[in-house]
Amino acid sequence: MLVNADFHLHSCFSAASSKDMVIRNMAPKAKLKGLGLLGTGDALHPGWLDIIEETTSYSGDGIYTFDDMDFILTTEVEGKNRIHHVIIIPDMDIARELSDKLPSNNKGVDGRPKTNYGGVELLELAHDHDCLIGPAHAFTPWTGMYKSFDSIYDCYGKKPDFVELGLSADTDMADTVSELKDFPFLTNSDAHSPWPHRLGREFNQMELEDISYSSIKKAIKHRDIKANYGMVPNLGKYHMTACTKCYKLIDPLVAKDMKMKCDCGGRIKKGVDFRISEIADYDEPKHPSFRPKYVHLMPLAEIIASVYDKGVTTKTVQGLWQKLIDSFKTEIDVLINVDLKDIGHVDSEIASAIESFRNNTLEIVPGGGGQYGKILFKKEVKKPKLVTLDNF
């Protein structure tokens, strides 16, 4: 069975997360998105585990169900050197045992626990308890594994189970790094709110024997992911090297000359694009035979907002989003499967925008420094100037 799964997200207990990020809200929104399996996030937080147990029914083999939506226990851990790791957990008993064993001072405060364990210790702890583990948003400059290590094996000591690409990278970028040729790639939302422009903004299409932890583990171990769906990496907020204050895009060589300090006084942060170029072994990606397609998309509400130059939460955007969902059932179907002519009967401009995603004919202002990129549906909008050696 083909299942759309989003494993990495956060509960209401995580810093900067919406108070609405609870099971009762996540389940119906995930169904509208078109997801069939959702990570719980924050599964080492004792209070969140209590809420999961109180809210869901246990379907067996690690699956917790509410309102016809299946959940698997997952968590993100901030380890040594502020590196983030994703862990997929077999069941509630193991989650509570891991929570007890992980040395951390904030487990009961923040949904994302901080620990002084490095990748080696975390992998050992996870594998001792039959969990799956891999780096979260592996290339991002603040908390990605590759910000501190040139090799994934230097971080973990041995092979972890997967690599999460993050919003600022895709398969073409990651497959220029030769050591990743044997890893399955996961694409997850890292959502902090339950709304469909956050939940499932990246997801994995997997072939599962059934909805169970055993099947999920088998699919990841056997690299049986059929497709990765995610944002165009240029849209990611850490894709390009840029100032974290004024968001000016800056050539990495110029940034080094500036000692990573912008003339506005802000800090310049190295982009995912440049970081991958530093560790890449190939100029062009070399995809292993098992590597599935990577399909670029963008949340439907954000497409509508960009086309009509409105806020995502405005009545105009939400009304049109709801009209499309009423017509075609799920957002993922609208973005990927529904005939463009049928979408055009609802709104021709939105149909044209979705077509540009499907045909890969987008014009994008890249993101960087913590600011998301923008799609130039309106051609008269001017692109920002990149600071290079020629104009520095």
In a domain? residue 286? no
Query: Is residue 357 scored above 80 in pLDDT?
Result: yes
In a domain? residue 256? no
Report the pLDDT value the prediction gives residue 69, as an integer from 0 to 100. 98
In a domain? residue 142? yes
User: Residue 108: which pLDDT band, with cuts at 50, 70 and 90?
Assistant: confident
User: Residue 351: which pLDDT band, with cuts at 50, 70 and 90?
Assistant: very high
Query: Is residue 30 scored above 50 in pLDDT?
Result: yes
Q: Looking at the structure, do residues 222 and 306 belong to the same domain, yes or no?
A: no
Give residue-wise pLDDT tens across range 163-207: 999 999 999 999 999 999 999 999 999 999 999 999 999 999 999
Q: Looking at the structure, do residues 97 and 210 belong to the same domain, yes or no?
A: yes
User: Residue 380: which pLDDT band, with cuts at 50, 70 and 90?
Assistant: very low
User: Residue 348: which pLDDT band, with cuts at 50, 70 and 90?
Assistant: very high
User: Residue 381: which pLDDT band, with cuts at 50, 70 and 90?
Assistant: very low
Which residues span the domain enclosing 109? 2-233
Query: Is residue 355 scored above 70 in pLDDT?
Result: yes
Q: What are phi and psi of 103, to 5 degrees?
A: -70, 115
What's the average model confidence in pLDDT over 201-229? 97
In 160-214, DSSP assigns E strands to: 163-164, 185-186, 203-207
Domain end marker among 203, 233, 263:
233
Query: CATH number for the domain including 171?
Result: 3.20.20.140
Domain end marker among 209, 233, 257:
233
How far apart, in Å, are the Cα atoms of 240 and each of 77, 148, 169, 277, 382? 25, 18, 11, 12, 18
In a domain? residue 166? yes
Beta bridge partners of 75: 87
Average pLDDT, the chain: 95
Lowest mean pLDDT among 252-256, 340-344, 377-381: 377-381
Q: Looking at the structure, do residues 115 and 37 belong to the same domain, yes or no?
A: yes
Q: Looking at the structure, do residues 179 and 312 belong to the same domain, yes or no?
A: no
In a domain? residue 119? yes
* Whether 132 contacts 217, CB under 8 Å: yes
Q: Looking at the structure, do residues 229 and 318 belong to the same domain, yes or no?
A: no
Domain end marker among 233, 267, 289:
233
What's the average model confidence in pLDDT over 101-126? 96
Q: Looking at the structure, do residues 226 and 107 belong to the same domain, yes or no?
A: yes
Beta bridge partners of 242: 249, 269
What Rg value do the Cα atoms of the chain yield, rounded?
A: 21
Q: Looking at the structure, do residues 46 and 179 belong to the same domain, yes or no?
A: yes
Q: What percent of the chain has pLDDT over 70?
A: 96
Report the pLDDT value the prediction gives residue 197, as an integer from 0 to 100. 94
* Whether 91 contacts 62, CB under 8 Å: yes
Q: Looking at the structure, do residues 13 and 110 belong to the same domain, yes or no?
A: yes
Q: Looking at the structure, do residues 229 and 308 belong to the same domain, yes or no?
A: no
**Three-class DSSP category at 346:** helix
Give me the number of domains the chain comprises: 2
In a domain? residue 147? yes
Q: Looking at the structure, do residues 195 and 81 belong to the same domain, yes or no?
A: yes
User: Residue 388: which pLDDT band, with cuts at 50, 70 and 90?
Assistant: low
Report the pLDDT value the prediction gives residue 379, as an integer from 0 to 100. 52
How crowded is the C-beta side of 186, counted as CA atoms within 13 Å? 32
Report the pLDDT value the prediction gives residue 390, as an integer from 0 to 100. 55
In a domain? residue 192? yes
Q: At what angle do helices 92-101 and 46-55 cross, to 10 degrees?
A: 170
Query: Is residue 73 scored above 50 in pLDDT?
Result: yes
User: Residue 387: which pLDDT band, with cuts at 50, 70 and 90?
Assistant: low
Give residue-wise pLDDT tens across range 273-323: 999 999 999 999 999 999 999 999 999 999 999 999 999 999 999 999 999
What is the distance between the alpha carbons of residues 145 and 151, in angstroms, rounded to a whole number?
Answer: 9
In a domain? residue 240? no
How far apart, in Å, are the Cα atoms of 157 and each of 150, 178, 260, 281? 13, 17, 31, 21
Number of C-beta neighbours around residue 228 at 10 A:
23
Q: Looking at the structure, do residues 104 and 193 belong to the same domain, yes or no?
A: yes
What is the distance between the alpha carbons of residues 300 and 354, in angstroms, rounded to a whole number?
Answer: 9
Query: Is residue 383 scored above 80 in pLDDT?
Result: no
Query: Is residue 378 scored above 80 in pLDDT?
Result: no
What is the distance between the alpha carbons of residues 249 and 384, in angstroms, rounded to a whole number?
Answer: 8
Query: Is residue 263 scored above 90 in pLDDT?
Result: yes
Beta bridge partners of 319: none
Q: Looking at the structure, do residues 12 and 105 belong to the same domain, yes or no?
A: yes
